[in-house]
Amino acid sequence: MTVRGLFKYFFVVFGFAAIVMAVVLYLDTASFVKEAVSGQGVLENVRERRMDEKTVCEWVVRFRTEDGRPIEFSTRAGTRCAGARIGDAMPILYPPARPAEARVDDFFALWGGSIIGGLIGPVFLLIGGIWIAAGRRKRRRVAVLKREGRRIETELERVEHVTSMKMQYRHPYRVVTRGRDPLSGDSRRFLSDYLWYDPSPYLQDVSVPVFIGRDDPRRYHMDLSFLPRSPK
C-alpha cells in the first residue's frame, strides 16, 4: 500500500486517538475537580520557552494551603504569555491531600484539552471512515464491471497532467482514450483514475481495455492493471 493509501487510515487512527485522549482528560479533570478545594494564589514568575518555533509560557504560582503550608507549582507549557502580570492573584484548585498537584482555576486550562480532542476527533474519524468506505465501494463497483460489464478496446488519445490537483507537492496524471460505445455505436472518450507517475512510455502501440456497464454505459472502468505500480 502506498503512502497516499495510508492517509485514510491515519485519519481514522488519529481521530480515534483524539477521542480517547479527550475522554481520558475529561475523566482526569472531573476526578480532580471533585476532590479539589478552592484557594487563592499569586503569580510568582512567568517562564518563557521555545516550542515548535513559538514562544510558550509556564506560570509559577505560589499559594498557602488551609493549614498554612506554602506551595509552589507550575502550569503546563503552553499557557498564554499575555494577560497576566507577576503579582496578580490567581484562583486555584488543589486536592487537600496532594496540594502540589494544584491547577489554575481557569475553564480552558482545566477542560481545553478534552474539548479540543472531543471536537477534532470525530471529524478526523468521520473523514477517514468516509474515505475508507468510498474506496471499498469503488472496488466493489470495479469488480462488478469486470465481471458483468462489456469489454471494449480503446485507443490512447493523450495523457493529461492534472495541474488543478496536488498531493504531497505532486500533480497526478490521467489517461484519456477513445473508443466506440457498444450500445449507441458512437465514438466516446474515457478517463482513467488518477496515476502518480507519467504512464506514457507504457502506452505506446497498445489498446486500453475499458469495461462498460451493460445497463448503464455511463458506468465504466478503464483497466490499467497492466501498468507497473511504479515507474521502472
What pLDDT, on the 0 to 100 scale, is given for residue 5? 67
CB 221 within 8 A of CB 210: yes
3-state secondary structure of 128: helix
pLDDT value at position 82?
65
- Measure the CA–CA gap between 170 and 128, rounded to whole angstroms: 22
**pTM of the shown model:** 0.70
| Every domain of the chain and the residues it spans | 3-118, 149-222
Instruction: Catalogue the E-assigned strands of the chain.
Output: 37-51, 54-64, 70-74, 89-94, 103-104, 150-161, 173-180, 187-191, 207-212, 220-222
Q: What's the confidence (pLDDT) of residue 157?
A: 94
Predicted local confidence at residue 77, as pLDDT? 57
Q: What value, to the nearest 5°, has the Cα angle with vertex 151 and ends 206 and 224?
A: 45
232 residues of the chain, pLDDT tens digit each? 555 667 789 999 999 999 999 999 999 999 999 999 999 999 998 887 776 677 778 889 999 998 899 999 988 755 666 667 889 899 999 999 999 999 999 898 899 999 999 999 999 999 999 999 998 999 999 999 999 999 999 999 999 999 988 877 889 999 999 999 888 888 999 999 999 999 999 998 899 999 999 888 889 999 999 999 888 7
